[in-house]
Amino acid sequence: MVDMGAKKVKTMKVGEYEKLDEALYIWFRQQREKNVPVSGPLLMEKARILFLMLYGDSDKSFTGSTGFQWRFCKRHEIRNLAIQGEKASADSGAAEDFQHEFPSLISGYNVDQIFNCDETGLYYRCLPDKTLASAFEKRADGRKKAKDRVTVSACANVTSSIKLPLLFIGKAKRPRCFKNTNMDSLPVIYRNQKNAWVNTEIFSSWFHDQFVPYVQRELKSKSLPPKALLILDNCSAHPEEDVLVSDDGLVIAKFLPPNVTSLIQPMDQGVLESMKRRYKRSLLQEVLLSEDLVDPIAFTKSITMKVVVEKISLAWDQITPVTIRRSWRKLIPLADTTPSNIDSEPTAAEFIDVFQSMGHALSEDEVTEWLNNDQNDPGYEHLHDDEIVSRVLGGDGIVPKPCKGNTCYEVIHYVEVII
């Protein structure tokens, strides 16, 4: 006799579209990092596009059903949320929740064992528009800003007792200026990528080959247990937490919630900005000493990667413990008895005076715009569809997996009115 009360149980297939699942999640994660609304229909349309790119020559078929959407969202813990007006890209609610949870997260760690790192783009040749004209030119039509860029990643612990060398990512594997140079002797950890972006492969290698041994060695020298916690922003260029674990399990990484970097990530609380300001001050000092003072364009072209490495490394060295300790105040309040003026960084007024000595009268707004010209460059690039497919098929080797806990994203349901 059949028990009519028994429920039929269906087994959910996980592996049939495994590559599609991975590719779609990378795409979805990137869209939410950019705060782009993603509806269910849009998600399924992108799934169909990626399916054709991945399985176009096979006998597999895919309809993009609501069942696939439901299972995909469940696997990746994606919630439904309605857009509420002009919601800011920074999520203050998530930041506050994380601040409340943070003490339990760092329980068992000494402040010397807690680290943060963050990457940023550096336009290493860029000068303000008004300086890009010779002193003998009345106007400079058609001048292009020098946007040659590299990525630098800075990492230190809460007390600044351990500051790692910068991770520096350029385009060339060995720039010509390093022809006879031992790359391991540079004051930075030099890596290359075709667009000078950080990616999961570079970051994973840095974590295991540089961060873990360096930190454990330094902690041992301080008679501290060789365990550490690295706090990271949850961007698509970072591998998942399960990848960022040392062989002995003592060094681990934890992600911040999405869209809180500008609010609570320590390195984003003035540390990276101060470092880049110091670099730019050093750059201007070089201009003043240069024979090409009347032609800054010629000077900027003479800036080699070796010069950039030396100057940005020096700028990082000049970041004092006061600056780094204060950057953690929103997560780990520390007693601060240091006078507020002991760690002065280059101000807009100081740069105005320097430009004045170069014969260029720049306003405070113009100088501020120049100082912030690479402020929104996160140091990593979002992948195009073909790059996502290449990574999933083995081109990059490391694919983000489902987020956990505070790191989950949201599918945004919205109504589009067509008139």
196 or 357: which leads in pLDDT: 196
- Structural domains in the chain (count): 2
Task: Please determine, for residue 289, whether its predicted confidence score (pLDDT) is greater than 50.
Answer: yes
CA distances from 409 to 21, 56, 150, 284 (A): 15, 29, 29, 43
User: Is 280 among the domain residues?
Assistant: yes
Look at 25-39, 63-77, 405-419 and tell me which has the smallest mean pLDDT.
Answer: 405-419
Q: What percent of the chain has pLDDT over 70?
A: 70
Give residue 26's domain range: 18-88+383-413
Given this model, what pLDDT does residue 323 score? 92
Query: Looking at residue 290, what is its pLDDT?
Result: 63
Same domain for 128 and 35: no
CA 156 to chain centre: 15
Tell whether 10 is covered by a domain: no
Q: Which of 73-87, 331-345, 355-369 has the lowest mean pLDDT?
A: 73-87
Kindly state the tokens that stand for 244. Answer: 């960022």
- What is the pLDDT at residue 84? 39
Is residue 64 scored above 70 in pLDDT? yes
Distance CA 204, CA 206 (A): 5
Alpha helix ranges (H) inside 56-198: 66-75, 92-105
- Contact partners, residue 280, CB within 8 Å, separation at least 6: 346, 351, 370, 371
**Are 134 and 71 in a shared domain?**
no
- Whether residue 388 sits in one domain with residue 364: no
Average pLDDT over all residues of the chain:
78
Lowest-confidence pick of 37-46, 84-93, 94-103: 84-93
Residues 358-392: pLDDT tens digits?
A: 666 677 777 777 667 766 666 666 677 887 788 78
Residue 3 counted as domain residue: no
- Dist CA 326 CA 54 (whole Å): 48
Task: Give the pLDDT band of residue 266 (cuts 50, 70, 90).
Answer: very high
More confident site: 230 or 149: 230
pLDDT top residue among 152 and 384: 152
pLDDT at 250 over 60: yes
96, part of any domain: no
Q: Is the pLDDT at 414 greater than 60, yes or no? A: no
Q: How confident is the model at residue 337 (pLDDT cuts 50, 70, 90)?
A: low
Say yes or no: 387 and 409 in one domain. Answer: yes
